């Protein structure tokens, strides 16, 4: 088996359930330090992060990943122990095999092979790893990005090794992600006996027209890279549990997945305008976990696409679908951020796996992208 397979297997063997890194980043440091990388461990509230850099000149390309994994679920339902890397039917099984320890290993080995082959390349290669991507993501990549920003370190390119391929390795590059904006709405009415509705004010009835308008609103039309912004209710609750009481309050949780055609402020303003239009007495608390980012076609997308085509014969599609990723943090200091990694089919599932035949091509694609950008 090749070096990437060996490192990926060693990483999978570490039960690094978020936010515990276990020994993963030490294994990575052991690969990077002999190459001349300066490695800095950054601990924040129990989260382990790594910033590593080779070279001092520009341009700077950063590989980004995470060493934490989601819980395994019922271990007895796995075909093999989730933290014992196992090959069956041409696939490497284990928690983190596709999300994203194989990518972690491939990025490291690709950088190693590139540096050994081209020791005098012009530029720098960096790594950001965190053990807090699968969790609340407060003390992970965001912390490292803020530190780099304070130091005036602004990468030119970033490849996040998140699984991005849909059915075959190389069919999709994520060149952006939608933003996520959550709202917690409380509509205030007046509790009362259900037989005397004139003495009460049912917040469900009061809010229903506004909710209908919110659900029917076209927030934007999207653009070349993004589907239109969506608004969805995730939770709704009212009542005491009794069937003869008009509730005093209605609680609604909703979420925007929004594109670059809208902004946080514009969405907030439009929601409040609709609620005010319907004369509601309400409280509304907002939380957003990330604004959208976008890397248009250009040097990074082109280099990665060409490398994929050379190694797989596939011309990848650019996509901005899916949830949020740590790319949203890195995009604050880096103008070109993309995500590329294994097939997403088994991520977070029982018997998570990656085809063994994809491991070396993934490494080759990362290495070839470095060659196209630096040589």
Enter the tokens of residue 33.
Answer: 């330090």
Are 19 and 139 in contact, with CB atoms under 8 Å apart?
yes
Between helix 24-32 and helix 3-12 the angle, nearest 10°, is 150
351: left (phi over 0), alpha (psi -120 to 50) or beta: left
Tell whether 278 is in a known binding site. no
Tell whether 154 is in a known binding site. no
Of 68, 70, 33, nearest in space to 140 by CA: 68
Are 49 and 57 in contact, with CB atoms under 8 Å apart?
no
What are the start-end ranges of the E strands in the chain?
38-44, 47-54, 60-66, 86-88, 91-93, 124-130, 157-160, 172-174, 176-177, 179-188, 192-193, 230-238, 245-246, 249-258, 282-290, 293-294, 317-319, 337-339, 353-355
Active site residue 352: no
Catalytic residue selected from 68, 142, 339, 351: 68
Pairwise CA distance, residues 74 & 89, whole Å: 22
Could you tell me which residues are beta bridge partners of residue 249? 188
Dihedral of CA atoms 212, 215, 217, 223 in degrees, nearest 10, equals -170
Tell whether 134 is in a known binding site. yes
Are 17 and 68 in contact, with CB atoms under 8 Å apart?
yes
Are 103 and 65 in contact, with CB atoms under 8 Å apart?
yes
Enter the tokens of residue 285.
Answer: 């608390």
Catalytic residue selected from 14, 133, 139, 249: 133
Are 85 and 13 in contact, with CB atoms under 8 Å apart?
yes
Tell whether 237 is in a known binding site. no
Pairwise CA distance, residues 306 & 175, whole Å: 15
Cβ burial, residue 184 (10 Å; 0-12/13-18/19+): middle
Enter the tokens of residue 130.
Answer: 């965190």
Tell whether 213 is in a known binding site. no
Active site residue 76: no
Known binding-site positions for Zn(2+) = 66, 99, 134, 162, 348
The residues annotated as belonging to the active site are: 68, 133
Known binding-site positions = 66, 99, 134, 162, 348
């Amino acid at each position: 088996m090749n070096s990437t397979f060996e490192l990926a297997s060693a990483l999978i063997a570490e039960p690094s359930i978020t936010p515990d890194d276990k020994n993963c980043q030490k294994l990575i440091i052991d690969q990077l330090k002999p190459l001349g990388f300066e490695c800095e461990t950054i601990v924040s509230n129990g989260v382990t992060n790594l910033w590593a850099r080779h070279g001092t000149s520009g341009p700077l390309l950063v590989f980004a990943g995470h060493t934490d994994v989601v819980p395994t679920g019922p271990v007895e339902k796995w075909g093999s122990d989730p933290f014992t890397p196992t090959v069956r039917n041409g696939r490497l099984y284990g928690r983190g095999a596709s999300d994203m320890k194989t990518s972690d290993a491939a990025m490291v080995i690709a950088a190693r092979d590139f540096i050994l082959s081209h020791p005098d390349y012009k530029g720098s290669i960096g790594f950001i790893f965190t053990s807090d991507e699968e969790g609340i993501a407060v003390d992970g990549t965001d912390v490292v990005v803020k530190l780099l920003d304070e130091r005036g370190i602004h990468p030119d390119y970033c490849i996040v090794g998140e699984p991005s391929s849909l059915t075959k390795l190389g069919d999709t590059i994520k060149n952006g992600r939608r933003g996520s904006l959550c709202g917690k709405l409380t509509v205030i009415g007046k509790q009362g006996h259900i037989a005397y509705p004139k003495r009460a004010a049912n917040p469900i009835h009061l809010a229903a027209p506004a909710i209908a308008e919110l659900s029917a609103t076209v927030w934007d039309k999207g653009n070349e890279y993004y589907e239109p912004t969506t608004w969805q209710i995730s939770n709704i609750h009212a009542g005491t549990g009794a069937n003869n009481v008009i509730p005093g309050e209605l609680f609604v949780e909703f979420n925007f997945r929004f594109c670059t055609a809208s902004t946080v402020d514009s969405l907030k303003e439009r929601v409040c305008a609709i609620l005010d239009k319907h004369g509601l007495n309400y409280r509304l608390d907002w939380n957003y976990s990330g604004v959208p980012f976008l890397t248009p076609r250009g040097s990074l997308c082109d280099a990665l696409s060409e490398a994929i085509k050379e190694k797989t014969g596939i011309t990848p599609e650019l996509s901005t679908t899916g949830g949020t990723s740590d790319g949203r943090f890195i995009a604050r200091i880096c103008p070109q951020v993309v995500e590329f990694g294994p097939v997403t089919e088994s991520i977070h599932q029982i018997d998570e796996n990656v085809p063994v035949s994809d491991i070396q091509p993934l490494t080759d694609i990362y290495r070839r992208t470095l060659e196209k950008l630096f040589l």
